[in-house]
Structure formats: structure tokens, C-alpha cells
Chains A and B, each alone.
Chain A
Amino acid sequence: MTFEKRRANTKQEIPTASMPDIVFMLLLFFMVTTTLREVDVLVKFKLPEAKAIEKIENKRLISYIWVGDDSRIQINDNLVKLDDVEPIMYGKRQELPNVIVSLRVDTNADMGLVTDIQQQLRKAYCLRLNYSTTLKI
């Protein structure tokens, strides 16, 4: 009795014709979700650490204010004076009424400066605030 080797009589190839489609789909997903870095940060800062932190899901609402270790303030792409914070932020609020201001302040900055910025923000009616911190492990 002879055994016949069983072999499928289909082509032994992986169909790759749909591979570009799949890849394009992935590509599109990443293209849509990517937010390319828009600004160069001109100040040097190290964020403080905290445990009880929350995530801000909606990135489009966030507007950043950086404060460096040399007490310089940066909004958008420019270094600004303290007195300019109010008009700039007021303009931002008019574009985006429920803007969240995220403060990226260096750990060694003085609270005086932070309170001054907060006062400016209050005058500009930007009341939603977020102290940017990293997770303490």
C-alpha cells in the first residue's frame, strides 16, 4: 500500500496584493492623530513631580505657558513680559472659550511670579488651569 503525500493543490503564496491597503490605512491613522510639535521651547525648565495627577484628554484645548528657571515667560513662540500675558491670553480665550491653560513652570521658580501670572490669567478670564507635572513613582 502506498501512501500518497497529501498536498493542497492551491498556490503556496501569501497574497500580498492587499498589503498596501492595510499599510495605507495605518498610515492614515497616524497622519490624522499626529500633532507635530509646533513650538520650540526657548526656556529651560524641569517639571515638578506629583502623585495625584489627572490627564487632559483634549489636547486642542490646551494652551501652554512656560516659565523657565531664569524666570522668563514663554507663550507660543515668543518670550513675553509679564504684562503681556493678559492681552495674549485674552485673545486666545476669544478664539477658544474653554481654553485650558497649562503652566509648565520650573521647579525652582518663585511663587511670586506664578501668582502674578495667575492674576493676569484671572483678568483675562482664562480660569481653567493645569499645573503640568510628571508622575512621581
Chain B
Amino acid sequence: MIKKKKIAEAAIPTSSMADIAFLLLLFFLVATVIDVDTGIGLTLPEFVEDVKNVEVPKSRMAAILINENGDVLLDGKVISVFQIKDNLKARIISKIELPSNKKLIVSVKTDRKTKYDIYIQSLDQIKQAYFEVRDDYSNSNFGKKYNDLVETQQKDVQEKIPIIISLAEPEAVKK
């Protein structure tokens, strides 16, 4: 005797779809690297063939020289790397109200044998000095930290306290 077959319901089993999707999701979760690159930003000057030397008044310049042992010379005075910040801060603050062509220029010059780490540390010190001055200025004028200001206010602060860092043209050295 043949039983009449019951017609099965035509459905695709979807219960395992969630599992599959979870598996894929997990893979992408694990494989994702959300690391934003952090670092010290800088803009290089354009390359010019013959360098013209422009005289800059001494009061505008903060010349930082770093030799191969990591000794730092700021305007002829020997200081340690960690003193750069405090030395610069006073000079940046004194120039806030001056017109833009009288702002401080920080010039960094290293020896070819200077370790990269020391260079970064001193650059870090310079940036810190600028950031702290900017924060202080924003705090006293707008009552907020620099990063919390709106864009127009940030522009304002940037105009008052521009970060001018000059990387001195390396001297031709004999090998």
C-alpha cells in the first residue's frame, strides 16, 4: 500500500543564517585595525635651488642646535632637552600681541649623527610649548581649551600664536 505523501512546506531553513553572519562578523571584528596614526605633523618648505639667506632679527629667532651627544644649545645657552618648553613658552607669550611678521620662529638644527629620538623629543617640547600657550590664551579669552573652541575661534588663536618651526638647511658635510 502506498501512503499518500504529505507535501512538505517549501521553506529555506534560515535559522543558521545568524550563525554564519556572526562568524563573518567575528572575522571582521578581529581583522579590523582601528589605529589612527598619531604623530607630530610638520610641513616642509618647498625645494629651491639657490637658497637666499633672509636676515631675521635676533629677537624673532629661537635657534635650537642639537649635537650628536644630545646636548641642546638654545640661543647660545646650553640647556637640557626638557628645559626647551619652559624657555620657549615665555618667549611665545611675549610675542602674542605682535603683528604676524614679528612672531617667533623656532629653528631646529641637528648634527648628522644626532639620534632621531632626541630630535623628536625636542620637537615635542616645542610643540608642547606652543600647545600650552594656545590653551592658556584660549582659556583666558574664550574660557575653553583650544581643542573645544569653534573653528573661527581656533583660527583666531592660530593667527595670534602661529607655530613656525624652521628646519635649518643641513650643511654639506664631509663624509
Question: Does A59 contact B37, Cβ atoms closer than 8 Å?
Answer: yes
What per-residue 1/0 map shows which CB atoms of B98-128 lie under 8 Å from chain A? 0000000000001111111101110110011
B24 interface hit (Cβ, 8 Å): yes
Q: Tell me if B's interface is mostly helix, strand, loop or mixed.
A: mixed
User: A: which residues have CB within 8 A of B?
Assistant: 16, 19-20, 23-24, 26-27, 30-31, 33-37, 48, 50-57, 59, 62, 100, 102, 105-112, 114-115, 118-119, 121-123, 125-136
CB distance from A54 to the nearest CB of B (A): 5
Contact status B42-A130, CB under 8 Å: yes
Count residues of B near A (Cβ-Cβ below 8 Å): 45
- Select B46's contact among A24, A33, A122, A131, beta carbons within 8 Å: A122
Residues from chain B with Cβ under 8 Å of A50 in the complex: 39-40, 120-121, 123-124, 127
Nearest B residue to A129 by beta-carbon distance?
B42
User: Could you tell me if A131 and B42 are in contact, using CB atoms closer than 8 angstroms?
Assistant: yes
Tally inter-chain residue pairs, CB-CB below 8 A: 152
Q: Which residue of A lies closest to B170 (CB)?
A: A115
Contacts of B34 on A, CB cut-off 8 Å? 33
| A118-B44 in contact (CB<8A) | yes
A27→B24 contact, CB < 8 A: yes
Neighbouring A residues of B28 by C-beta, 8 Å: 27, 30-31, 34
Does any Cβ of A come within 8 Å of B45's Cβ? yes
- Besides A108-B115, A131-B40, 17 other A-B contacts (C-beta < 8 A): A23-B21, A23-B22, A50-B39, A50-B121, A50-B124, A53-B38, A53-B124, A56-B36, A106-B116, A108-B117, A110-B116, A112-B170, A114-B116, A127-B46, A129-B41, A129-B44, A131-B42
Name the B residues within 8 Å of A105 (CB-CB): 116
Contacts A30-B29, A34-B28, A110-B115 given: A131-B44 contact, CB under 8 Å? Answer: no
